[in-house]
Amino acid sequence: MTAKTFIPVITALAVLVCLLPANAAQPRPLTGHVPAAIARLHLLPNGRLAPTNQLWLSLSLPLRDRAGLENFVASVSDPASPNFRHYLTGDELTTRFGPTKADYEAVKNFAQSNGLAIAVQHDNRLVLEVTGSVATVEKAFHTTLRTYPHPTEARDFFAPETEPEVAAGLPVVRISGLNNFSRPHPRRTEHRASSFQAKNGSSPDGNGYIFGNDFRNAYAPGSPLTGAGQSVGLFEWDGSYAAAVSAYAKAAGGGRTNITIKYVLLQGFNGTPTSNGGEPEVDMDIEMVMAMAPGLSRIVVFEGNPNLISPLAILNTMAASNSIKSFSCSWGWSSADEPYTNTDAVFLEMAAQGQTFFNASGDSGAFTTGASSANGVDNSALYNAPSSTPYITQVGGTTLQLNGSGASWNSETVWNDGLDSTGDHFDNSASSGGVSSYYTIPSWQTNMTNLTSRGGSTGHRNIPDVSACAINIYEILGRKATPDDYGGGTSASAPLWAGYLALVNQQLAAQGQASAGFINPALYALATSSNYLAYYHDVTSGSNIWVSSPNLFYANTGYDLCTGWGTMNGTNLINALTLTPNVALLAAQVAGTNFQFRFQTRPGASHTVQYRTNLVAGSWQAYTNFTGDGTLKTIVISLTSFGPAKQGFVRVQTQ
């Protein structure tokens, strides 16, 4: 009886096993697509997204050799490296480090076989953009898209009910666009009139706001460089009012009306300003770039869809525009919407191609300690990304004082609107800076002194790197091209640096050199040299403290976590950043009983001076060694060193 009952069970199991494919791929969930707020706040769905609604998604693939790319970037960005500024083309980069053609084809085949239309293919194969109906997307990724009441905004948002799934072997690491819990956040801040200091700018309204050439007089005085032949790219998530930009260019003069403004519309965005607060950011960014670089060939505005959170697709399109070498971003997003690993892949590719990316560090004052803290730079519930990233240049904000009517630089303090007339702090409207809890300290920050005593870290990435003017700025904004004196923040500081770098790249191009590329290693090498104050305006007064950070951070001599190393000190910094990477001996001569010569040192490089009297016999004798700081070095050697004949040979070795 037992046997008769048992045999059919075995037979049924055998049939079941035979029906399964021999190599069935189990679905693999992709985490991080369901907003954490749903579980944390116990949000209940109030509907289902209409199945006919169309979605625009970005499928991201991983780098094939991220470690190799990081090593290459470290080498190509190091002024002391023989590989300094020997960049890769886009094709070379993809061949060495990017996803393979086979992997990209696999993702394309997956999309098409599941009814998704391919919208945009990217040559570096890091992103594939697709479109499809909600019903198609749900079926392709084995999830359901629900709607929920937003906990802090007067709207509903949609999100997947469960994490999406893909086949185990499919090389997709992220699907951007599966929820709209977050919306793009411009950094631009409306300032309080009560916090304004005396103003000495040349604004057309006569109120002393900083305008046009005032920025050049402060940061590049006397420079003939205008950015001629250069382009600057801007990361944006809204439209711009051309009338406002044109009015600013006309009022500022200096050839700015000749700059071509090119708009690159992405993710199905039509370019129409949304009136949701983002368009003033776009207008201001363009105006700050042209203020610093009046002779630019182009300002290219990359405009992503404000209804989507997919910074990766925008960044990747910017990276592909390799004729543009200087970029700026004044927007923030949540690292939950786009993980660091995804955006860092693009930032690394930019650096490998010789592109520089400036990012507004933020307008929320001091970053508090810990990823989950009130203003943690790595808090995924906030919009602080990518202010932690060490592969781009983070820019803080200052309050700039000028001499005369915008005639010259006078002084700077940390920008902090959150202080009342007595110095008490009541909110966090100030230049952001602090310590990352996610990224370890990059190599170019390890030679800084007194970090711990200033609240910094010897183990993690410190923010920002540099800074620029953030307040008392004259803008022209909106459909009616209306003057505005109340906006700014680090949103203004980052594009000012992008414009400044266009001057650097113009000079490099004139010298037949490659673009400046990822400049942090060079910036820090110059800052830690004996000539620091020749290259930077050191900001030594003020703080970015606020009510949740009452003790940190304060400005200090040298580096601090409010303004980094400070602001650009004119043509000295331009010249230092455009030095030829090869040592050139200059003005060798005999002076009395000495032989002397000068040569241009390389910032951060080790220089060894040697001499000998005979190239056939004997060996090189060490004379002196030192670390270069980017200045001209004079070497004086007594002629007696060369023996009775007073003849010999001198060489300089650089490492």
Question: Where a domain ends, among 577, 607, 630?
Answer: 577
Can you tell me the distance from the alpha carbon of 257 to that of 249, in angstroms, rounded to the nearest whole number?
Answer: 5
Please check whether residues 618 and 572 belong to one and the same domain.
Answer: no
> Residue 633's pLDDT is what?
80
Answer whether 165's CB lies under 8 Å from 68's CB. no
Over range 75-91, report the average pLDDT.
93
d(C-alpha 179, C-alpha 583), whole Å: 54
In Å, how far are 175, 236, 298, 558 from 564, measured between CA atoms? 35, 25, 29, 8
Contact 315, 236 (CB under 8 A): no
Say whether both 595 and 622 belong to one domain.
yes
Tell me which residue of 306, 342, 345 sits closest to 182, measured CA to CA: 306
Look at residue 506 in the predicted model and tell me its pLDDT. 97
506 & 635 share domain:
no
**The domain boundary residue, chosen from 142, 157, 176:** 176
Same-domain status, 220 and 316: yes
Residue 180 near residue 309, CB atoms below 8 Å: yes
Given this model, what pLDDT does residue 422 score? 64
Is residue 351 within a helix (H) or strand (E), and if so which, with residue range?
Answer: helix 340-353
User: Is the same domain home to 219 and 251?
Assistant: yes
Q: Dihedrals φ, ψ of 493, to 5°?
A: -65, -45
Q: What is the pLDDT of residue 610?
A: 84
pLDDT at 194 > cutoff 50: no
pLDDT (mean) for 164-168: 96
The verdict on 458 and 491 lying in the same domain is yes
Share of the chain above pLDDT 70, in %: 91
Rounded mean pLDDT of 125-132?
98
* Residue 413 · residue 397 · CB < 8 Å: no
pLDDT of residue 307: 86
For residue 17, pLDDT over 80 is answered with: no
**pLDDT of amino acid 585:** 55
- Is 270 in the same domain as 311? yes
Residue 399 within a domain: yes
pLDDT in tens, 332-371: 999 999 999 999 999 999 999 999 999 999 999 999 999 9
Per the structure block, which two tokens stand in for 394? 């983070």
Same domain, 224 and 161: no
Residue 546: alpha-carbon gap to chain centroid: 25
* pLDDT attached to residue 630: 65
The whole-number pLDDT of residue 397 equals: 98
Contact 465, 490 (CB under 8 A): no
Confidence at residue 4, expressed as pLDDT on a 0 to 100 scale: 40
In whole angstroms, what is the distance from residue 437 CA to residue 576 CA?
32
Query: Whole domain around residue 237: which residue ranges?
Result: 185-427+434-577
| 378 and 439 within one domain | yes
What pLDDT is recorded for position 196?
54
pLDDT of residue 44 exceeding 80, the answer is yes
Please state, in angstroms and rounded to a whole number, the distance separating the CA atoms of residues 494 and 500: 10
Average of per-residue pLDDT across 150-164: 96
pLDDT band at 580 (very low <50, low <70, confident <90, very high): low
CATH label of the domain that carries residue 598: 2.60.40
Q: Considering the domain boundaries, does residue 83 fall inside one?
A: no
- C-alpha gyration radius of the chain: 28
Please indicate, yes or no, if residue 293 is contained in any of the structural domains: yes
Q: What is the 3-state secondary structure (H, E, C) of 576-622?
A: HHCCCCCCCEEEEEEECCEEEEEEECCCCCEEEEEEECCCCCCCCEE
Last residue of a domain, one of 122, 156, 176: 176
Which range scores top for mean pLDDT: 139-143, 547-551, 644-648?
139-143
φ, ψ of residue 395 in degrees (nearest 5): -120, 120
Higher-pLDDT residue of 640 and 281 is 281
Rounded Cα gap, residues 502 and 508, in angstroms? 10
Q: What is the CATH number of the domain that holds 518?
A: 3.40.50.200
Q: Are residues 572 and 600 located together in one domain of the fold?
A: no
d(CA 12, CA 19): 11
Report helix, strand and coil shares of the chain as percent, to nearest 5.
Answer: 25, 30, 45
Residue 485 shares a structural domain with residue 535 = yes
pLDDT score recorded for residue 421: 63
Q: Is residue 17 part of a domain?
A: no
Average pLDDT across the chain, whole number: 90
Residue 87 lies in a domain: no
DSSP E strands in 197-332: the ranges are: 231-236, 260-265, 298-303, 326-329, 331-332
More confident residue, 146 or 197: 146
* Rounded distance between C-alpha atoms, residue 196 and residue 182, angstroms: 32
* Alpha carbons 523 and 509: distance in angstroms, whole number: 19
- Residue for token digits 């600057």? 232
C-alpha 56/C-alpha 238 separation (Å) is 17
Closest CA to 607 of 595, 616, 598, 618: 598
The answer to whether residue 194 is domain-embedded is yes
Query: Helices H, strands E: what count in the chain?
Result: 15, 34
The CA distance from 286 to 296, in Å, is: 11
pLDDT for res 23:
44
- Residue 597 to residues 177, 634, 646: CA-CA distances in angstroms? 62, 6, 16
Least trusted range by pLDDT, from 388-392, 421-425, 486-490, 616-620: 421-425
**Is the sign of the CA dihedral 360, 364, 369, 372 positive or negative?**
negative
CA atoms within 13 A on the CB side of 447: 13
- Kind and range of the H or E run holding 186: strand 185-186
Give domain status of residue 503, yes or no: yes
212-226 tens-digit pLDDT:
999 999 999 999 999
Tell me: pLDDT of 200 over 90.
yes
CA angle at 160 for the pair 154 and 162, rounded to the nearest 5°: 135
Number of compact structural domains in the chain:
3
Residues 126 and 259 in one domain: no
Predicted pLDDT of residue 308: 85
Give the pLDDT score at 427. Answer: 72
Q: Which residues of 199-233 are buried (b: 16+ CB within 10 A; e: fewer)?
A: bbbbbeeeebbbbbbbbbbbbbeebebbbbebbbb
CB 497 within 8 A of CB 468: yes
Lowest mean pLDDT among 12-21, 289-298, 361-370: 12-21
Both structure tokens of 508: 């490099």
Using DSSP's 3-state secondary structure scheme, residue 450 falls into: coil
Q: Would residue 3 count as lying in a domain?
A: no
pLDDT at 581 over 60: no
